[in-house]
Chains A and B, each alone.
Chain A
Amino acid sequence: MAAWRLVLIVAHKDLRAELRTKEAINSSFSFALVILLLFSFAFDPTAEVTREISGGLLWIAFAFAGALILNRSFAREQPNDCLDALIAAPVPSAALFLGKALANWLLLLGVEAFCFPVFGIFYNIRWTRQFWPLLLVVVLGTWGFTLIGTMFSALTVNIRLREVMLPLLVYTVMTPCLLAAMQATSLLLAGEPLAGEAAVWLRFLIGFDVIFTSLSLILVETVLAG
């Protein structure tokens, strides 16, 4: 069977399980709201200041809130040893990984789709001025984040204290991805076109995504059945 069909089957399974309980997505979105609230205390939310740091603010909210979703991804396989059944099935590890990453990515994009308008309202930002370039940055940045998160979630699945450790591992490795996404988002929210500096950051995002997607696909078999 074509590998991409297996990817979709795995992704569909994860999405269905998550959307049935909505435990991760609900807590993730609420957490994002809390972060957006807390940031309003951290600085004076006037239009100029906000615009300048909007990218950083949004991506920190995404990164923290997203961790809740990523944490669930492999944790869901834990209680009944489901991961063993998936590994034993005739599915290439890479397809398994991509399926789970795809599901996480869609869930995260869902949370982010809600965050943008809320952010726009709370902080008086017209965030749709560069809508399509912004979408591109968000999609690529979220993929980079999802990739590292899913991979490290798989890496630490059988480790004690995994929840304690994941943030340290994930956020450090993610630094360039977050940095690029923050900068590009700030520029686009300020209404600048996707050229010059923003385009360079976009290229960083693409580079990060390409390198770590390949690395993950190469190493995931070792991680799951090494």
Chain B
Amino acid sequence: MIAVAVEDVWKFFGDYPALREISFTVEPGECLALLGRNGAGKTTLLRIIAGFSPAGRGQVRVFGRTARAVETRRLTGVLGHGIAVYDELSAIENLTLFGKLYGLADPERAAREWLERTGLERVAHGLVREFSRGMRQRLAIARAFLHDPKLLLFDEPFTSLDDRAIAVLQSVLRDGLLRGCTIVMSTHQLREAMELATHVALLNQGRMVHRCERPPEMLSDPGWLYARYGDL
């Protein structure tokens, strides 16, 4: 089954089309990197796929269902600009909370596992507000992966992460890809993204101007796509 199918999606802010006739599909196991400058529509597109806001026209299917279907949400992991964990709760409480919301059989165990994987097991009972920035980011990664999602939607995942968090994220993403996860991410950090991406798509002023398998050239020269497709 196709993981993400976007069919002729438009999104309007008032009369202004922030997205225009976007159509593409992502097969399971692919990692699609959405490129484009600020305001090109990357975040808007991701938010539509994540079900945060409906498309103005056209439709999005995730594993055959609408983006807002409860079953879809169970299969999707989202990591946006914010870390989306509660300052007043401890690390383990945060993860257990989301484990419960996702209906995991044993939320506590999943929480501990992920604290370990992200190197936070020692501070499991520390309140998040006492955490350093890097620790929060790793907790956010744990939160997004906790329920073993089949589709990962990341908005600028590598932006402003510290080295350790980047390492953790890359390792769990690679792990996920090996297990057949599908990833759609928007990014500016081309170097990190290119190592993972199997496909790239370029957005410009709300249009998808190019989509292809990641060209090998982009590993050594991440700006390759930009250089070739338009004055961005």
Bound pair: A and B? yes
> How many whole Å from A109's CB to the nearest CB in chain B?
21
B29 CB within 8 Å of chain A: no
Inter-chain contacts of B52 with A (CB < 8 A): 84, 87-88, 225
Q: Work out how many contacts link A and B, with CB atoms closer than 8 A.
A: 79
Contact with A along B83-107 (1 / 0, CB 8 A): 1111111000100011011110000
> A60: CB under 8 A from chain B?
no
A21 CA to B71 CA, complexed, in Å:
35
Q: Which residue, of B68, B97, B102, has the highest number of chain A Cβ atoms within 10 A?
A: B97
B residues 31-64 in Cβ contact with A at 8 Å: 50-54
Q: Is the CB of B68 within 8 A of A85?
A: no
**Do residues A90 and B103 form an inter-chain contact, with CB atoms below 8 A?**
yes
Interface string of B67-87 (1 = CB under 8 A from A): 010110110101011111111
A81 within 8 A of B: yes
Is B53 a contact partner of A81 (Cβ separation < 8 A)? no
Q: In the docked arrangement, what's the CA distance between A16 and B96, Å?
A: 13
Q: Provide the bound-state CA to CA distance between A13 and B101, in Å.
A: 11
Q: Which residues of B contact A18 (CB under 8 A)?
A: 88
Nearest CB of chain A from residue B101's CB, rounded to whole Å: 4
Which A residues between 71 and 97 are near B, CB-CB below 8 angstroms? Answer: 76, 79-82, 84-92
Mostly helix, strand, loop or mixed at chain A's interface?
helix
8 A Cβ contacts from B20-38 to A: none
Q: Are B82 and A89 in contact (CB under 8 A)?
A: no
Inter-chain contact A88/B88, CB cutoff 8 Å: no
Name the prevailing secondary structure of the B interface residues. Answer: loop
CA distance A79 to B87 in the complex (A): 9
Query: When the two chains form their complex, are residues B97 and A13 in contact, meaning their CB atoms are under 8 A apart?
Result: yes
Across the interface, A88 reaches (CB within 8 A) one of B78, B83, B100, namely B78
Tell me the chain A residues, 44-84 only, with Cβ under 8 Å from chain B.
Answer: 76, 79-82, 84
Contacts of A82 on B, CB cut-off 8 Å? Answer: 82, 84-86
Against B, the Cβ 8 Å flags (1 = close, 0 = not) of A1-28 are 1000010011001001110110000000
A85: B residues at CB distance < 8 A: 78, 84-85, 98, 143
In the complex, the answer to whether A89 meets B84 with C-beta atoms within 8 Å is no
Query: For the complex, what is the distance from the CA of A76 to the CA of B129, rounded to whole Å?
Result: 13
A191 to B83, CA, bound (A): 53
Interface readout for B161-178 with A: 1 if CB under 8 Å, 0 if not?
000000000000000000
The complex places the Cα of A82 from the Cα of B129 at a distance, in Å, of: 14
Return B131 CB to nearest CB of chain A, in Å: 11
What range describes how many residues of B lie at the interface?
Answer: 20 to 34
Question: Which residues of B have CB within 8 Å of A20?
Answer: 88-89, 127
Cβ–Cβ contact A90 & B68, under 8 A: no
User: Contact between A80 and B82 (Cβ–Cβ < 8 Å)?
Assistant: yes
Q: Which residue of A lies closest to B136 (CB)?
A: A80
Whether a CB of chain B sits under 8 angstroms from the CB of A226 is yes
Give chain A interface residues in 191-226, CB to chain B under 8 Å: 225-226
In the docked arrangement, what's the CA distance between A17 and B93, Å? 10
Q: Which of B52, B53, B54, B71 has the most CB of A within 10 A?
A: B52
Per CB-CB distance, the 6 closest pairs between chain A and chain B, nearest first, are A81-B82, A85-B84, A17-B88, A90-B73, A90-B74, A89-B101
Other contacts beyond A16-B89, A84-B80, A89-B98: 19, CB < 8 A: A9-B100, A17-B86, A17-B89, A18-B88, A20-B127, A80-B83, A80-B85, A82-B85, A82-B86, A84-B78, A84-B84, A85-B78, A85-B98, A88-B51, A89-B102, A90-B70, A90-B73, A90-B102, A91-B70
- Interface residues of chain A, those whose CB is within 8 Å of chain B, are 1, 6, 9-10, 13, 16-18, 20-21, 76, 79-82, 84-92, 225-226
Interchain residue pairs with CB less than 8 A apart (22): A1-B103, A9-B100, A13-B97, A16-B88, A20-B88, A20-B127, A21-B88, A76-B86, A79-B87, A80-B82, A80-B87, A81-B82, A81-B83, A82-B82, A82-B85, A84-B80, A84-B82, A85-B78, A85-B143, A91-B70, A91-B101, A225-B51
